[in-house]
Structure 1
Amino acid sequence: MGKVNRRSFAVRKPNESMRLIVLLFVGGFFGLIIGLSLPTTRPITKLNLPYGLLHLSCIQDKNTDSSSSSQDQLLNDPSKIWVPRNPRGAERLPPGIVQAESDLFLRRLWGIPSEDLTFKPKYLVTFTVGYEQKKNIDAAVKKFSENFTVLLFHYDGRTTEWDEFEWSKKAIHISAQKQTKWWYAKRFLHPDIVAPYEYIFMWDEDLGVEHFNAEEYIKLVRKHGLEISQPALEPSKSTKGVCWNMTKKRDGSEVHKEAEEKPGKCKYPLLPPCAAFVEIMAPVFSRNAWRCVWHMIQNEFVHGWGLDFSFRKCVEPAHKKIGVVDAQWIVHQGIPSLGNQGEAQTTGKPPWRAVKERCGMEWRMFQGRLTNAEKGYYKSKGIDFTDLVLHN
């Protein structure tokens, strides 16, 4: 019986081997024919694969760049719209329908849209406000002509009360409690939203404006070619001085772009705080300068400390395009509204102290990020960052 089994196995083995060879040959032949019949530009993920391989193909499709997929559609199906020069995300739209920018112009709920706006303001002024400062803001807003859109950011949640002022009914009100103007700016002043405005004023609520006129200010800004500016400061009785000599008012001058500081405060005469510098309390940006500054604002930082030392990176040459307007000056009243919005800490620190500590912390963190970003950039260009005396 054992001999029969061995003989039977010996007879079948060559037949099975031959069958396997034939199957491999036929499979390879058909595979070659299929491969040659497919376009060379068609990715493998488009083949009709068995389920297991199809699952892997789907994963690969998900990880494939969407622009590459859309470009493939353009190549393989001209009826599919794909316009690379459109803004990111709008490549599938015909260019004639794309509206890349918006505005803050108020419109009607009725009538023909083209007839909504009989007049378009050319400038934007924003104030970050609490209702307790209503008289001060009322005085400030009246210094801005109808050429300005007025935008109030409310950190105390009180908005409807402002309607006691006639101008408030035409203003734009945005409310989020216990936030600062840089938090608002990052979220509501995107460059593509404020693009219609030639200049953007971003002001605090505690500014005295008795000696200020916005239209005259803009005339001087244009005359002296300023892309980033601020009105000169006069100290109030409560502040008893100014933080930086650069922003202090000079008598008999229209504009100044440089200043002398105390020894040790200014190592380089064309860099902040002796030039190319304005403070964050009342900055004014041209449309182009703001497009750069907005991208520099860090998403989770709210106080903006340190930004004013870096505004210069958005204009060139900074010491000529950043300046202080002496002929239109303001008073910094120094009202501690931000400190009052803080909360007492379990460590026993008062609210204002905790707020001030975060201001300093954000400044240090911002400087660290900026330095690391510049190091990374120069390293990618093969430049030794330590050899650069001035940060460009």
Structure 2
Amino acid sequence: MGIVTRSSTSRKPSEIMKLIVTTFVGVVFGFFIGVSFPTLSITKLNLPSSLLPSLDLSYIEDKYTARTWSFMKSNNSASSRNHLSNDTSKIWVPSNPRGAERLPPRIIEAESDYYLRRLWGKPSEDLIKKPKYLVTFTVGYDLRKNIDACVKKFSEEFTILLFHYDGRTTEWEEFEWSKRAIHVSARKQTKWWYAKRFLHPDIVAPYDYIFIWDEDLGVEHFNAEEYLKLVKKHGLEISQPGLEPNKGLTWQMTKRRGDREVHKVTEEKPGWCTDPHLPPCAAFVEIMAPVFSRDAWRCVWHMIQNDLVHGWGLDFALRKCVEPAHEKIGVVDSQWIVHQSVPSLGNQGESHTGKAPWQGVRERCRKEWTMFQSRLTKAENAYYNAIGIDPSNSTAH
């Protein structure tokens, strides 16, 4: 008995040590398996249930799923940071203006204005008043007194913009209003050259109406505020003041009628109008003193050609930009002007082949009219042909 007891006692420590070592090795092995395969689900091992301890397997799956999700989020976040740091196209908004697709929409300023700003203080406090209308004159210094009289007919509701074709700008500071005006100078250019380059629709968008006037207009019988009241009352998108009948008159349509506020149709010489709703009997104003609504100007600006700077022929095509043109284009009779017909810009030309400067300018005006008509007709015909319509049967001409 004593021998048996002694033998049993001597083996016990050795067996305990083996059990400890085996357990330790098993734990270490299991730890490395877990680290190496973090997404491994115990239920996918298909082990007999008798070999699994009594555990909540759903907890184990959820635990590993959570660990996996956390791991993936961490990796994706790091990957995103690396991607964003190396990829400048992380923002791409096709609906943004062309060229600005990489910008977030809320930073986009697609339009601008002519409002003058201070060099100090808060930007939000710069403007005491925002003018609602824009008036432009293409000017030379010699007619400064006439322009001074014109500008005084426009209230503080108007931004004044002068286009200087003679390069003289600083001399205009003799007029107090000139210090608040916008001055743009380019020698020997016409108002339509300026308009195409400095009156982009997105620049003049804050203004309800845009006046694009010559410098040789008498305005004794004109008031800008009253004029716009009538424009709005009669629904005119493109208009001009009536012209004094006895001076500088070319077309019957622009002749002032003394018995009404506004007229939209007239009678011309026999054969001049193929349709009573077409120019020059209707849907027509001249290019010396036109006034455009914001929407109408957006269309007209796109129609102005870069190289045809005198604008001849444009007045016959203005009807393309409003519908119905014979109702939305008209002449305001009760606010009228005088066309003084001063050939100031004509004198900016150069003598050529023995001709006076103004003669060369006039020849180019006529040539541009023909070129514009030809371009417009070809463009319209190409459009109708492309959609399968015979241009000769179109009513849009």
TM band (smaller chain) = 0.7 to 0.9
CA distance in 2, matches of 1:270, 1:148: 33
Tell me: CA distance 1:244–1:322, structure 2 relative to 1, closer, same or farther (3 Å): same
Q: Contact 2:146–2:218 at 8 Å: present in 1 too?
A: yes
Describe the SS at the equivalent of 2:244.
Answer: strand
Report how many aligned residue pairs link the two structures.
314
> Which of residues 220, 225, 228 in structure 1 aligns to 2:230?
220
Is 1:160 equivalent to 2:167 in the alignment?
no
CA distance in 2, matches of 1:112, 1:201: 31
CA distance in 1, matches of 2:317, 2:354: 34
Provide, for residues 145-183 of structure 1, a one-character-per-residue CA deviation record: whole Å limited to 9, x for no partner: 000000000000000111000000000000001000000
After TM superposition, where is structure 1 displaced by more than 6 Å over at least 4 residues in a row? none
Q: Contact 2:313–2:373 at 8 Å: present in 1 too?
A: yes
Q: Contact 2:242–2:337 at 8 Å: present in 1 too?
A: yes
> 1:129 is matched with which residue?
139
> Which of residues 128, 133, 139 in structure 2 aligns to 1:118?
128
CA distance in 2, matches of 1:365, 1:102: 33
What's the offset of the Cα at 1:388? 2.4
Is 1:270 equivalent to 2:280 in the alignment?
no
> 1:373 is matched with which residue?
379
Q: Contact 1:256–1:323 at 8 Å: present in 2 too?
A: yes
Q: Contact 1:153–1:173 at 8 Å: present in 2 too?
A: yes
> Which of residues 279, 284, 289 in structure 2 aligns to 1:282?
289
The structure having more radius of gyration, on CA atoms, is 2
What's the offset of the Cα at 1:304? 0.2
Describe the SS at the equivalent of 1:337.
Answer: coil
> Which of residues 341, 346, 355 in structure 2 aligns to 1:349?
355
What is the TM-score normalised by the length of structure 1? 0.78
Provide, for residues 275-311 of structure 1, a one-character-per-residue CA deviation record: whole Å limited to 9, x for no partner: 0000000000000000000000000111000000000
> Which of residues 233, 239, 264 in structure 1 aligns to 2:243?
233
What's the offset of the Cα at 1:273? 0.2
Matches within 5 A, 1:33-182: 80-182=90-192
CA distance in 2, matches of 1:188, 1:389: 34
Q: Contact 1:129–1:155 at 8 Å: present in 2 too?
A: yes
Uncovered stretches (5+) of structure 1, i.e. residues with no partner? 1-72
CA distance in 2, matches of 1:79, 1:364: 48
> 1:335 is matched with which residue?
342
Provide, for residues 172-213 of structure 1, a one-character-per-residue CA deviation record: whole Å limited to 9, x for no partner: 000001000000000000000000000000000000000000
> 2:50 is matched with which residue?
none
Q: Contact 1:122–1:198 at 8 Å: present in 2 too?
A: yes
Describe the SS at the equivalent of 1:211.
Answer: coil
Q: Contact 1:229–1:283 at 8 Å: present in 2 too?
A: yes
Describe the SS at the equivalent of 1:108.
Answer: coil
Q: Contact 1:141–1:150 at 8 Å: present in 2 too?
A: yes
CA distance in 1, matches of 2:221, 2:295: 28
Uncovered stretches (5+) of structure 2, i.e. residues with no partner? 1-82
> 1:12 is matched with which residue?
none
What's the offset of the Cα at 1:144? 0.3
> 2:325 is matched with which residue?
318
Tell me: CA distance 1:178–1:95, structure 2 relative to 1, closer, same or farther (3 Å): same
Q: Contact 2:89–2:102 at 8 Å: present in 1 too?
A: no
What's the offset of the Cα at 1:235? 4.0
What's the offset of the Cα at 1:389? 4.9
CA distance in 2, matches of 1:94, 1:236: 58
What is the letter of the counterpart of residue 175 of structure 1?
A: S
CA distance in 1, matches of 2:199, 2:88: 38
Describe the SS at the equivalent of 1:288.
Answer: helix
> Which of residues 290, 297, 304 in structure 2 aligns to 1:297?
304
> 2:215 is matched with which residue?
205
CA distance in 2, matches of 1:131, 1:285: 26
Q: Contact 1:236–1:333 at 8 Å: present in 2 too?
A: no
CA distance in 2, matches of 1:129, 1:390: 37
CA distance in 1, matches of 2:208, 2:239: 13
Aligned Cα root-mean-square deviation (Å):
1.6
Q: Contact 1:144–1:215 at 8 Å: present in 2 too?
A: yes
CA distance in 2, matches of 1:334, 1:309: 21
> Which of residues 357, 379, 388 in structure 2 aligns to 1:382?
388
What's the offset of the Cα at 1:236? 5.1
What is the letter of the counterpart of residue 97 of structure 1?
A: I
CA distance in 2, matches of 1:267, 1:136: 39
What's the offset of the Cα at 1:350? 1.3
Describe the SS at the equivalent of 1:356.
Answer: helix
Describe the SS at the equivalent of 2:138.
Answer: strand
Describe the SS at the equivalent of 2:136.
Answer: strand
What is the TM-score normalised by the length of structure 2? 0.77
